[in-house]
Structure 1
Amino acid sequence: MKRAALVPEFTVPSPERLPDMWPGREVELDGLKAYVRDTPAAAPGAEPAVYVHGLGGSSTNWTDLAGVLAGRLDGQAIDLPGFGYSDPARSYSLAAMASHIVRWVEHSGRGPVHLFGNSMGGAAVVVAAALRPDLVRSLTLISPAMPFLDPRRSLQGPIVPLLLLPNAAKLAARRMSSMEPEALASMVIESCYADPTRYPEQRRLEAIEEARRRHLVPWYAEAYVGSLRGLVSSFLRAYLPGEGSMWKMAARIKAPTLVIAGRQDRLVDIRTAPQVARLIPDSRLMMLEGVGHVAQMEVPRTVARAVFGMLDELQEDKAGRAATQQVATQVRDGVRQRAPRVRMAS
C-alpha cells in the first residue's frame, strides 16, 4: 500500500456549469431490463470505464466524476438490479451483484475496463475483480462497504436487527411511502455528505425526482432490504473459514487499485478503507478530511486528481515495460547479428 498520487489541480477540467444527468438507455441482459448511462469520451484514445453505485443509489451518483474523467475514460454507469430504472433481481446477494457486473462487461464487449465502485458497489466490484481479473484494468473503490461488525459505526446499524423479520421489506416500504420525496432526499443527502451545504441545488432537485420515483417502483423496498441483507451476510461470512471471505477475495485482486474514503463517513467504518488497501497487493490509499460517504459526488475533482494520478502511473509503467522490451529485443537481435563464425581447422 502507498499513498495516492494526485495530479496538479490546474490539470483537472473544471466545468463552467454542472452537467445534466448523462443520457440513459435500456439494455436487455439475461432476459431482464438493465439501465445504463453513457458518458462519451471527450478526447481520442480514452479507455473504457464502468461505474457502480451503492445501496439505495443509482447511476446518477457518477454524473459529475464521469464528466470530469471523460477526457481519458469512456464511461458507462449502470443501475444495479432493482435500483434506478433496472428491473428487479431474483437475488440481491453480493455474489449476484458481482455476477451482474461481470455479465455487463462481457455483454458490452469493452473489457478489460477501469472499474469504479462506491459503498455496496465497491464491495461488489471487489468480488468481480477477484473472480474475473481478465476484465479489469484498474479498480477504484470509494468508501467500499467491506466487512465491519460494529453497528455503532454506521447510521444503518439500528435497522440491521429488523432484517431478521420476514416482513422487513413491507415495513421498509411503509416507512418510505410515509415520507415526502423532499424529506427522503434530504435524509439521504445528510447521511451521505459530510457537509450537506455542498450539495448543489440542481442535484437536490434531481434527488427529489429520484425519491419520487421510488414511491412508484413496487420492488424498490424489496431491492433495498434484500441488498442490505446480502451485505450483512457477506460481513458475517468474511470472518468464517472458506473462500467466500471478502477479505480473502480482496487479497486476490491483481489489478492496480485506488482506495478512497472520507473521514466523516457515517455509513461505513472509516477504518475499513485502510484495511482494504493493506490487503490488495498493488494499492493506493487516500483519506479525505471533511468528506463523507460519496466522495465522487462531494469532491469529484479531488477524486479525479487521484484517478488521473493512478492512470499516469499505469501509463508510465506501460511505457517503461515497452522500452525495456524494445531494448531487450535490440540486444537479442544484435547478439544474433554479431554471433562469431566458427572456422573449421583444415
Structure 2
Amino acid sequence: MPQTLTAEGTSRTVQTKNWKIHYNEAGEGHPIVMLHGSGPGATGWSNFGPNMKVLSDRFRVIAVDTPGWGASDAVTPDERDPVEAALQLLDALGIDKAAFVGNSMGGMTSIAFAVRHPDRISHLITMGAGSPGPAYFGASDGPSEGLKVLLKGYRDPSPETMRELVEIMTYDAAFVTDELIAQRSDAARKRPDHLANFLASGLTGVRSVQAPLERIAAIQTPTLVFHGRDDRVVHYESALRLVTLIPDSRLVLINRCGHWLQLEHADEFNRLVGDFVATR
C-alpha cells in the first residue's frame, strides 16, 4: 500500500559545496533521484509526490528542487549547472550511485549526468525529455505550443496562467485540479528571484544542459524512456531518437498522454520504474 507521505514530513535541506538544496525523501534501499522539469512553480514534490508514495515502499526516493526552483538556492544564468548540482547532492548525502528519473528538463539533466558521470548512475529513466537533432515532426521554427505557455507562466504566474499550463501539460482534463494549480502558482510567486533568473536565460538555459548526440550514443547505463503520444511540450520523436542512440534502452510510448506521464499514468509508471530498477 502507498505510504501516507506529506510534503512537510519528507522535507529535507542539505548544504553542498555550491548550493543549499531542498529535497523530499522517503523510503530505504537503492536510491532513486527524481529531477523535475523547468516549468514555473516546479518542485520535486509537485512533479513526483504521488510517485514517491508508491516507490518509497521499495527504494530510497529523493525528489529534488533543482537550484533555481522551489526552496533551493537561486542561481543566475551563469551559475546554473543542474548536473553539477546533482553530483554535489549525491556527495553530500553519501550516495555512491543512484538511479535517476527525470521529467523534461530533469530528463535532459539525467542524460547529461549519465554522459558526464557514468560511474555515479545505475539506471537512466526519462519522461518527455528533449534530445538533440533536427525536428521533423514537432515544432521546428521556434518553441512548441507548451513551451510558449511555460514562458508565459514565468512572466505571469497567476492561477489563470497556471491553469493554462497544467491543461497543456496533460491530456486528461481530470488532472487539471484546483489544488495542483494553486500549488504551482503559489510556489512560483513565492520565489520572484527564480522567475527573474529563468527569464534572463529562458529556454537557452534549459537547452544548454543537453548532451551532444555522439556522447548520448556512448551511454552504457540501462535506460528506460517514457513519452506521451500527445505531448504538446516535447514531441515524442525525441524519445524515438533517444532509443535509436542509446544501446541499452527501451521505450514506453503511451497514447492519450501528455507531458506529465508520471501523473496521468502513475500506476503503470510506478510499476515499470520499480521493476526496472529492481531487476536491471
- In the alignment, the residues of structure 1 paired with residue 85 and residue 202 of structure 2 have an alpha-carbon distance, to the nearest angstrom, of 13
- In the alignment, the residues of structure 2 paired with residue 103 and residue 139 of structure 1 have an alpha-carbon distance, to the nearest angstrom, of 18
Within 5 A, what are the aligned runs for 1:239-258?
A: 245-258=211-224
Aligned-pair identity (%): 25
Given the alignment of the two structures, is residue 52 of structure 1 paired with residue 38 of structure 2, yes or no?
A: no
Q: Is the 1:26–1:36 contact (alpha carbons within 8 Å) kept by the matching residues of 2?
A: yes
**Which of 136, 154, 168 is matched with 2:121 structurally?**
136
- 1:273-330 CA distances to partner (integer Å, 9 max, x unpaired)? 011012111111100111110111222111112113323432xxxxxxxxxxxxxxxx
- In the alignment, the residues of structure 2 paired with residue 93 and residue 141 of structure 1 have an alpha-carbon distance, to the nearest angstrom, of 24
Q: Is the 2:19–2:85 contact (alpha carbons within 8 Å) kept by the matching residues of 1?
A: no
Per the alignment, in what secondary structure is the counterpart of residue 302 of structure 1? helix
CA change 1:310–1:28 in 2 (3 A) is: same
**How far did residue 219 of structure 1 move?**
3.5
Q: How many residues align?
A: 271
**How far did residue 196 of structure 1 move?**
2.6
Within 5 A, what are the aligned runs for 1:155-304?
A: 155=145, 175-176=155-156, 180=158, 182-214=159-191, 217-226=192-201, 228-233=203-208, 245-304=211-270
Q: TM-score, normalised by structure 2?
A: 0.85
**How far did residue 227 of structure 1 move?**
5.2
Which structure's CA Rg is the greater one?
1
Query: Any stretches of 5+ residues in structure 2 without a counterpart?
Result: none
Per the alignment, in what secondary structure is the counterpart of residue 229 of structure 1? helix
- In the alignment, the residues of structure 1 paired with residue 73 and residue 98 of structure 2 have an alpha-carbon distance, to the nearest angstrom, of 24
Q: Is the 1:129–1:253 contact (alpha carbons within 8 Å) kept by the matching residues of 2?
A: yes
Q: Who is 2:16 aligned against?
A: 29
CA change 1:157–1:63 in 2 (3 A) is: closer
CA change 1:183–1:157 in 2 (3 A) is: closer
Q: Who is 2:276 aligned against?
A: 310
Q: Is the 2:231–2:259 contact (alpha carbons within 8 Å) kept by the matching residues of 1?
A: yes
- 1:71-124 CA distances to partner (integer Å, 9 max, x unpaired)? 221011111111111112244688x22121122112211121011111011111
The worse-fitting range, judged by mean Cα deviation, of 140-149 and 284-293 is 140-149
Q: TM-score, normalised by structure 1?
A: 0.70
CA change 1:98–1:31 in 2 (3 A) is: closer
Query: In structure 2, what residue type is equivalent to 1:52?
Result: L
Q: Is the 2:171–2:256 contact (alpha carbons within 8 Å) kept by the matching residues of 1?
A: yes
CA change 1:134–1:115 in 2 (3 A) is: same
Q: Who is 2:52 aligned against?
A: 66
The worse-fitting range, judged by mean Cα deviation, of 148-157 and 286-295 is 148-157
Q: Who is 1:124 aligned against?
A: 109
Q: Is the 2:67–2:75 contact (alpha carbons within 8 Å) kept by the matching residues of 1?
A: yes
Query: Any stretches of 5+ residues in structure 1 without a counterpart?
Result: 1-12, 161-168, 236-244, 315-346
**How far did residue 226 of structure 1 move?**
2.2
Q: Is the 1:55–1:224 contact (alpha carbons within 8 Å) kept by the matching residues of 2?
A: no
Q: Is the 2:15–2:92 contact (alpha carbons within 8 Å) kept by the matching residues of 1?
A: no
Q: Is the 2:114–2:121 contact (alpha carbons within 8 Å) kept by the matching residues of 1?
A: yes
Q: Who is 1:321 aligned against?
A: none
Per the alignment, in what secondary structure is the counterpart of residue 218 of structure 1? helix
Q: Who is 1:5 aligned against?
A: none
Given the alignment of the two structures, is residue 82 of structure 1 paired with residue 68 of structure 2, yes or no?
A: yes
CA change 1:234–1:310 in 2 (3 A) is: closer
More helix by share: 1
**How far did residue 198 of structure 1 move?**
2.5
Q: Who is 2:85 aligned against?
A: 100
- 1:211-262 CA distances to partner (integer Å, 9 max, x unpaired)? 4424xx3232322552521234566xxxxxxxxx522222121111110000
